Amino acid sequence: MKKDDCIFCKIANGEIPTNSIYEDEKFRVILDMGPATKGHALILPKEHYANLYELPEDWAAEAMVLAKRMAGSMTEKLGCDGFNLVQNNNPCAGQTVFHFHLHLIPRYENDGQEILWNPTSPSAEELKEIHQILTK
Ligand code: AMP
Ligand code: ZN
């Protein structure tokens, strides 16, 4: 299904022209309009799923295989030194466009970007508690 007021539905399905670098039956890969680095791209499914929670498992599997292939071909073409895959879900996690997308971010030595978090120092008890929550 497409969502009428969703810009990524329109871009993924070719209704709005964009810098597309790959397309198949299910996905389009486009250049991000505000790239973190040279070549920053987005994998968009052609069906509307707001985020990873909504994305069916078979689409998730195909998106990851495509990401692996794109990372390989983009690294070869761009000569980048590394690669980040980033995928944000919901505003608190930095999502600003509510149509699932997977960021493909080529990294270059000294590119000035930081895609990092601030590590915290939980106690052994706190780690045990979260372990229990996640394994029950
Ligand atoms: P996120 O913060 O994970 O939701 O990422 C949204 C990304 O989409 C940002 O990196 C934006 O620069 C990018 N973006 C938003 N609108 C467009 C557009 N029309 N074409 C290309 N990239 C876009
Ligand atoms: Zn959409």
What is residue 3's predicted lDDT score, i.e. its pLDDT?
85
What is residue 85's predicted lDDT score, i.e. its pLDDT?
98
Does 101 qualify as catalytic in the annotation?
yes
State if residue 7 touches ligand 1 by the CB under 6 angstroms criterion: yes
Cβ–Cβ < 8 Å for 50, 83: no
State if residue 89 touches ligand 1 by the CB under 6 angstroms criterion: no
* Sequence-ordered list of residues with C-beta below 8 angstroms from that of 17, at least 6 positions apart, any chain: none
Dist. CA 78–CA 87, nearest whole Å? 22
The per-residue pLDDT string of the chain (136 residues; one tens digit each, 9 = 90 and over) reads 888 899 999 999 999 999 999 999 999 999 999 999 999 999 999 999 999 999 999 999 999 999 999 999 999 999 999 999 999 999 999 999 999 999 999 999 999 999 889 999 999 999 999 999 999 9
Q: CB count, 10 Å around CB of 60?
A: 16
